Structure 1
Amino acid sequence: MHGPVVVSWLLVALAAASAGYGLSRLRGARAGRESGATEALMGIGMAGTVLRPGVVWGWLFALLALALLLAALAPGAPRAHRLHHGVGALAMAYMGLAPAGHHGTAGLPTVTGALLLYFGGYALWTGSRLLSAPGGPLAAAGAVSVSRAYRTAMGVGMFAMLLTM
């Protein structure tokens, strides 16, 4: 990342906490385990990418994206969730593999802009669902509220990473 150091460390903390949340979901039902494993991988990868950027992360995320996008084609699969994680993994691969451009920027402005729109919109959408939860945003943190907060945080994290690219 090319942004301020404090932003980098805040993203590392956010990604590590998200990875911890994903790991905690591994004990649940089958769908929860799959989602938890994917979320843990994304969180660990995001933290690693911020701390030590490099092409290796890009290729690892490219493989993860391929696996997720192929899994979304399976009959009866939770397609939207897998597609979203696939787009996230593709964005991480893009950030890791994008060649440096003018003035220290990397990647293609059109692709970066499209990803910024996607993750900015996703963060706003999940955030609005979090705020409009039954009982209000200060209600007891149930599993649904924690999942929504996690998704909002990861969307904001991806947006911040793309913005500082």
Structure 2
Amino acid sequence: MHGSAMSGWLLMALCATTGAYCLLRTRGETGEGRRTARAEALMGFGMAAMAVPAAVVTPPAWAWAVYAALFGAASLRALWFSRRSGHHLHHLVGSSAMVYMALTMAPGGGAAAHCGHLGHGVAAAGGVPVLTGLLLAYYAVYVLRSGARLIPVASAPVPAGGGPAGGSWTTRPEMALACRLTMGMAMFAMLLAL
């Protein structure tokens, strides 16, 4: 990816924070909500790992195969659970996009740049332009749609007690939407720099 190391650090911090919050959400959720929070935590931490600037850590060549295998398994899991919930289709797209980026950024995979490692590589842009364009379009629409859904939830009146309506801060619906919006923007940025 092209850009400064500062952008890589900011993207890494944003994704790691989002992954940590999603992991905390698993404690307050049950069933489908817990599965969704786990999948989102995996995505956040995976994106954070891919965003570590190359000046700090250059991943070994085998790391890309690990990313591809991990997110390939996550894609199969999302496909399985998409029978119950349409939101898992989004997880399927996200996990598949992570596999795509890992394969594209692997040595000999089309570019010398490292996905998320801003400032890496001097090779031409990697990946299949049409597929990258489709993923960019998907995430652009997803981010706009998530942002529009967040506005009414975030502007809802606060209950008389002043606390969250649904319990602790880890179960607030606007926080989950904000995390999804954040990860969508981060994925868009990673794909854009691919």
TM over 0.5: yes
Q: Summarize the Cα distance change of 1:135–1:89 in structure 2 as closer, same or farther, 3 Å threshold.
A: same
* Equivalence map 1:14-33=2 (5 Å): 14-27=14-27, 28-33=29-34
Aligned-partner Cα distance in 2 for 1:97–1:134: 38
Decide whether aligned partners of structure 1 residues 55 and 24 sit closer, same or farther in structure 2, where only a CA change above 3 A counts: same
Instruction: Tell me: CA distance 1:83–1:137, structure 2 relative to 1, closer, same or farther (3 Å).
Output: farther
Query: What is the deviation of 1:138?
Result: 10
The within-5 A match list for 1:13-162 is 13-27=13-27, 28-51=29-52, 52=59, 54-73=64-83, 77-78=84-85, 80-98=86-104, 99-100=109-110, 103-133=123-153, 135=155, 143-162=172-191
Contact 1:59 1:97 in 2 (8 A): no
The Cα offsets for residues 62-97 of structure 1, whole Å up to 9 and x where unpaired, read as 121122112213xxx11x111101100000000000
Contact 1:72 1:83 in 2 (8 A): yes
Mapped to 1, the partners of 2:67 and 2:34 lie a distance apart of 23
Quickly say closer, same or farther: Cα 1:141–1:149, change in 2 above 3 A. farther
- The percentage of aligned residue pairs carrying the same residue is 39
Which residues of structure 1 form unaligned runs of 5+?
none
Greater fraction of residues in helix: 1
Greater RCO, CA 8 A, separation 6+? 2
CA distance in 2, matches of 1:118, 1:45: 20
| TM-score normalised by L of structure 1 | 0.87
Q: RMSD of the alignment, in Å?
A: 2.4
* CA displacement 1:106-134 (0-9 Å, x = unmatched): 10000000000001110011011112336
Q: For each residue in 1:19-76, what CA deviation from the matched residue of structure 2 results, as whole angstroms up to 9, or x when unmatched?
A: 1111111112222211111111111111112224733212211121122112213xxx
Alignment check: 8 A CA contact 1:126 1:151 kept? yes
Stretches of structure 2 that go unaligned for 5 or more consecutive residues are: 53-58, 112-121, 166-171
Contact preservation (8 Å) 2:64, 2:102:
yes
8 A contact 1:69–1:86 mirrored in 2: yes
Deviates more, 1:84-93 or 1:40-49: 40-49
Distance 2:32 2:90 in 1: 15
TM-score normalized by the length of structure 2: 0.75
- The Cα shift of 1:103 comes to 4.3
How many residue pairs get matched? 161
Structure 1 outlier segments of 4+, above 3 Å: 136-142
Q: Larger C-alpha radius of gyration, 1 or 2?
A: 2
